[in-house]
Every structure is written in structure tokens, then in C-alpha cells.
Amino acid sequence: MRIAIDGRALLGQKTGIGTYTRGLAGELARRPGTTVGLFVPRPLAGASDGLGPVSVHADSQRFGMLWVQTTLSRRIAAWRAEVLLAALTIAPARGDVPAVSVVHDLTPWTHPEWHTDRTLIGFLPLFERTIERAARLLCVSQATADDLLRLYPETRGRTRVVWNGIDPEFTPSPDDAARPAVRTRYAEGRPFLLYLGTLEPRKNVGTLVAACEILWRERRERPDLVLAGGAGWKGASLARQIARSPFREKIHLAGYASRETALALYRSAEAFVYPSFAEGFGLPVAEAMACALPVVASDAAALTEIGGAAALYAPASDAAALARQIERALEEPETRRRLETEGPRRAALFSWRTAAEKTAAVLAEAAAA
């Protein structure tokens, strides 16, 4: 089978969908009888490293969404693709190659206030057209599939669920020798709690800061907070909250974290906290569990689906409840040991090989249809 993949998520700083695109493309290409081509509107500038047998086809267009609608169909048809995996959800409105749209989340519909006007204006109408045209819609969690079917019940026969994978290097630390250096670099030498993800409204980082302030008022020596992730959008309120915090010196902004940096942070933190209002999958939760790092998350449907019994949960809007769960992860020895043990077991459910096997079956369905 000849599979074309929209590789736009690998342009610029790689976030969750970029990790998805790279991990899945590499594993699909390793399957016998499968040829994978990654198509992008402009050169990847070194980001193709590690893709293995995947061929990369780059154009020289500036605007990615325009490229999808004007160029991508022609390019993949000339390459003789049998099916397109639209990894960034939107598929070309026209074309003869059947498309599988990957639906990561539906928050532009359920919570438009979390997104920029540019996203809402440029994405929503094209998604409606994608819904009409896609041979299959591949959701990264059952929670996302439930949202899709609620909003678009006509997609029921075409909707499939395939969980994401985790890069294999995310494992427990073989020793603690590197931990002091990581603490020095990111938390002025002190133990720290970790958040990793884009700093944008959906991630609910303000509630995490408020929860930590509750813990610090009780005992100031509790671990600091490291916020690792690129600056997103609508971040003025969070910036003001951090600047005005009476514990400002205990809050550290690490900026965008590469895969190598993320691994070092997971292996050096005391606990991972992910208070997101809503997620499609919640890849950082799975990665943290794989590293045997105790996880505290919001009770968003996708996060409880992915974390199962291997994490602690609190309502997303309840800073006091989140603080108490963080306290348990840090200071209840039995709870901490359970999370450290169960996390890697749970994370073992998420591999790119399994994701590729199940995705290949969905792509074959779409090609046959």
C-alpha cells in the first residue's frame, strides 16, 4: 500500500501532533509491502532525521492550508498514493485519493474561546468539508470519538479509534546521576513539579499555579514548579498571575522542550501535573507514566481514559482538590510507590507499532472503500 501523509506538523517546533506524525510515519514505513511518502509545503530543514524509510516530498509554498487545498491532491496523485493520512485533520476538498482524517480533538467547536480567531475562521469551514469527504475519521481516543459522534452523528459508520504511541526512549531513569544538573538548570537546584505542554488556555495552567500556591502557603519548602512548553496564545492572564504570585521565585518558565529535554525533565521531576480542561489524547501523561513519574491530572475524559488507575485525578477547575492530589503523590509513600509501579505498566499499552498496525487497517478500509 502506498500511503501519503500530510507532514505539516513537523514544520517548526514539534508538539504533540508532530510527535504523532513522526512516530506513525516511521512505523508504517517499516511494515512489509508499505511505502510511505511525507508531503510538506516547504522543506523540513533537518526535521526528516529519524524518519527511516519514509520519503519526503517538499514544495515551496508559504501557506500550509492553501497548499492543502491547491497542491496536495495533485502531488499525492502523481506519486500514485492509494490513500492519504491527513495527520493535521484537514484533507483536500477535492481529489481522487481517498482520505483518512485524524481527529485529535473537537475543542474549536466545544470551546471556541480557547482558540484564536485565525484558527476558528481558517479551520472550521474546512473541517466541515473534510467531514463530508473523508473515507474514514480516525480519532486518537474514545473521548474524541464521542465528541465527534455527538457533533456529527452522520460519521458513525466511518469513525474509528486508535490510541497514540509513545517514543521508546521514554523509560524510567537508569540512575539519578543527572538529576542534580537538571534541577540546577531548570529550578535553581531545587526539587520540582513538572508541567509540559503549550502554554495556552485549554491547558488550564493557572489552576495549577493556584494549587501550588496552596501547597507552598502550608510549607514553602515543597517542590518548585517548572512550566515547560512553548508560549501559545491568549497567555496574558497567565503571565500576570505568575508575575504577581507571592511565590514567583518558585515558578520557573523553561520554554519549549525538545524530546531530549522532555525526557530529562520527566526523569528528574518529583511528579507530573497536567490540569488540562480537555484533551484529545494527552501524550505528556503517557510519556510521564512511561518514565515512572507519578502523574496528577484533571478528570478530563481523555486523560482518565489514557491514565486509567495509574494516575490521580482532580476536577479541572478545583485548585484545592488538585493541591490535595499533588500532596498525595508527593507525600503518601504507598500512593507514590503505586504510581511509580503502575505508570510504566499502563504506558506499555501505547506503542507506535500497535498504533501503526491499527492505523494501517483503517487506511486499507479507506482505500478499499
Residue listed under C-alpha cell 468539508? 129
pLDDT value of position 46: 64
pLDDT value of position 27: 95
Q: Where are the alpha helices (DSSP H) in the chain?
A: 16-29, 64-67, 73-78, 107-110, 117-133, 142-151, 179-187, 205-218, 236-244, 259-268, 283-290, 301-307, 319-331, 333-347, 352-368
Question: Can you give the pTM of this predicted structure?
Answer: 0.94
Single out the residue of 259, 265, 273, 236 nearest to residue 13, CA to CA.
259
Tell me yes or no: is domain 179-347 CATH 1.10.260.40. no
**8 Å CB contact between 15 and 198:** yes
pLDDT tens per residue across all 369 residues of the chain: 999 999 999 998 778 899 999 999 999 999 999 999 999 999 987 655 668 799 999 999 888 889 999 999 999 999 999 999 999 999 999 999 999 999 999 998 888 888 888 777 777 889 999 999 999 999 999 999 999 999 999 999 999 999 999 999 999 998 888 999 999 999 999 999 999 999 999 999 999 999 999 999 999 999 999 999 988 778 899 999 999 999 999 999 999 999 999 999 999 999 999 999 999 999 999 999 999 999 999 999 999 999 999 999 999 999 999 999 999 999 999 999 999 999 999 999 999 999 999 999 999 999 998
The ranges assigned to domains in the chain are 2-165+351-368, 179-347
Q: Which three cell numbers stand for residue 169?
A: 526512549
**8 Å CB contact between 42 and 121:** no
Single out the residue of 312, 241, 304 nearest to residue 278, CA to CA.
304
Fold of 2-165+351-368: Rossmann fold (3.40.50)
Give the burial class of 154: count Cβ atoms within 10 A of its Cβ; 0-12 exposed, 13-18 middle, 19 or more buried.
exposed
**8 Å CB contact between 336 and 106:** no
pLDDT value of position 369: 85
* Same CATH fold assignment for domains 2-165+351-368 and 179-347: yes
Instruction: Report the distance separating Cα 141 and Cα 280, nearest Å.
Output: 6
End-to-end CA distance of the chain: 14
pLDDT value of position 13: 78
Residue listed under C-alpha cell 523540513? 44
pLDDT value of position 277: 97
